[in-house]
Amino acid sequence: MEVSRHWRLNEQRYALIGETCDSCGTKLFPPRDVCLECEAPAKELYTFTGVGEIYSYTTVYEAPAGFAEYAPYTVALVKLEEGPVVTAQLTDVAKADLHIGMKVEMVTRKLRTDGSEGMIIYGYKFRPQLEMA
Amino acid sequence: MTNVSIIGLGQTDVKEHWQTSLRHLAWYAIEAALDNAHINKVDGIFVANMLAGPLSGQQHLGALIADFSGLRGVEAVTVEAADASGGAALRQAVMAVQSGLMETALVVGVEKMTDLVGSPVTSALALALDADYETVHGMTPAAVGALLMRRYMYEYGVQVADFAGFSVNAHANGAVNPLAMFRNKLRADRFASAPLVADPVTLFDAAPTGDGAAAVIVTNYERAQDMVPQPIRIAGSAIATDTLAIHDRKEMLWLAAAQKSAARAMAAAGVSHDDIDVLELHDAFTVLAALSLEAIGFAERGEGWKLARDGEIGRNGRIPISTFGGLKARGNPGGATGVYQIVEVARQLRGEAGDNQVSGATIGMAQCLGSAGATAVTHVLSK
């Protein structure tokens, strides 16, 4: 069982909580406690809006264990509007519509299941940004 | 310039060695290297390996391989830096000999990829990525290569077919290397239409994993002169690191660690780009070959692919690469790959490369990468 190693990341997986650098204000996701830009401490929590755009994407045909049942699936680098780039799967999108620069937003989805009796791991994926009514 | 020279080389063929265990593969390469150096003992062993734990259920390879090779008692440890393990292990041996703590050190890279097949192997390879922020989303090394390739194509306006020259060159060289995993030639017009691994990376773009072992024995420069007819000097040696995950890189299409380690190794060796006659680089995916050529300084940013298009990477070109097939055709035995590169460059400099010989090669470079350049190890060798 891997409960603790997933549970300790629930703020990141479910709410996209990262950090802000105390010194230069750079927003960090994933959180890393030391700023990527200036190496100053970065421990203030920051909740990202979850809005961004596709920086690059790929459809995976040869999947690792735990993902074979979902293959082919699409993984992207999403550049969040606050700056950081995150790796995540895309969902609710037709492959023909995919393009670099596509506006996307975070949603919570099942990432994978550890067999029939194991954990179900949830986390962020991204979908095309819905139009505001 | 380091005070370290290579006195022995050994390698097995790279393939699916169904009948041969991890320990036997390592021993075959060690036996060949000891014979080649005309010695029967060493002061220490640095084992390069990436996946014996997850694939063979075997770790503690230092003791295992020292024991199995009849070298019980010597200092022996495993060095792991994903598929840069081989270069990283040699770096440890260089430091050991340079410092004087060891007189003679053995580096053996060994990887047994075929003890499992299918998705468990893909999972094992993905251990080199960020488990919490990449792998949990279904990322694989091929997917990382694909993300970089698509962005490269977008930013620099190139097509999938523009990368074909790297694989065509690798297979042309692999075709005449009896130890290569793939000895078939590849047609450029078939490259883009091969089956997809991770769009746009195809089967003809991604290097195949295979079983294999390679070994290198080093000692100090003065001693080497008296031991073998053609000692090969390790002129420069450097490791650099970058962010583990590509998503944390400010310039995603720039292999910063590859640049740093190459610049440090070249400065230590006192060589410039024009001096380098042969280059083994980390062509696990064609985009990594292009990015490596740019980072090392053989091409401007966004133009590495042009060297392949223009035939400059062939054995008679400006900068021959993958001269025995590279990762793409010789095969990619994970942690052993970096040691294969050293064996191949040393054979080029000795003039022992047979049909793969780059004529008149006197200075060569080998660079291996851990995943997409999170670790980069560069060695410059000279006659």
Distance from CA of A108 to the nearest CA of B (A): 12
Verify that B109 and B28 share a domain, yes or no: yes
A25 backbone φψ class: left, alpha, beta (φ>0; ψ -120 to 50) = left
Give dist(CA B27, CA B141) in Å, integer. Answer: 29
Residues in chain A with CB shorter than 8 Å from the CB of B202 are none
Residues in chain B with CB shorter than 8 Å from the CB of A57 are 147, 150
Query: Please, which residues 104-143 of chain B have a Cβ atom closer than 8 Å to chain A?
Result: 119-120, 122-123, 126, 130, 132-140, 142-143
Verify that B355 and B258 share a domain, yes or no: yes
Distance from CA of B55 to the nearest CA of A (A): 13
- What's the full length of chain A, in residues? 133
Distance from CA of A40 to the nearest CA of B (A): 16
Buried b / exposed e across B71-105, counting CB within 10 Å, b at 16+?
A: beebebbbbbbbbbbbbbbbbbbbbbbbeeebebb
Verify that B225 and B245 share a domain, yes or no: no
Verify that B294 and B358 share a domain, yes or no: yes
Residues in chain B with CB shorter than 8 Å from the CB of A85 are 247-248, 252
Considering only CB atoms, A59 lies closest to which of B119, B137, B198, namely B198
Q: What is the pLDDT of residues B343-366, one digit of tens each?
A: 999 999 999 999 999 999 999 999
Considering only CB atoms, A77 lies closest to which of B147, B198, B200, namely B147
DSSP string, A40-81: -B--EEEE---EEEEEEEEEESSPPTTTGGG-SEEEEEEEET
Distance from CA of B380 to the nearest CA of A (A): 31
* % of chain B residues with pLDDT over 90: 99
Residue of B nearest to A54 (CA): B151
Verify that B65 and B79 share a domain, yes or no: yes
Pairing label, strands B232-241, A85-89: unpaired
Verify that B131 and B111 share a domain, yes or no: no
Verify that B369 and B272 share a domain, yes or no: yes
Q: What is the pLDDT along chain A (133 residues), one digit of tens a residue?
A: 588 999 999 999 999 999 999 999 999 999 999 999 999 999 999 999 999 999 999 999 999 999 999 999 999 999 999 999 999 999 999 999 999 999 999 999 999 988 888 889 999 999 999 976 5
Verify that B176 and B266 share a domain, yes or no: yes
Domain count, chain B: 2
Supply the ipTM of this predicted assembly.
0.97
Q: Report the Cα–Cα distance between both ends of chain A, in Å, rounded.
A: 43
Verify that B215 and B347 share a domain, yes or no: no
Verify that B221 and B197 share a domain, yes or no: no
pLDDT at B114: 96
Verify that B239 and B215 share a domain, yes or no: no
pLDDT at B311: 95
Asked if A64 lies within 8 A of B245 by C-beta distance, the reply is no
Verify that B69 and B160 share a domain, yes or no: no
Asked if B154 lies within 8 A of A100 by C-beta distance, the reply is yes
Q: Which domain holds residue B108?
A: 4-115+210-232
Residue B140 contacts residue B124 (beta carbons within 8 Å): no
Q: Which of A66, A48, A51 is nearest to A11 (CA)?
A: A48
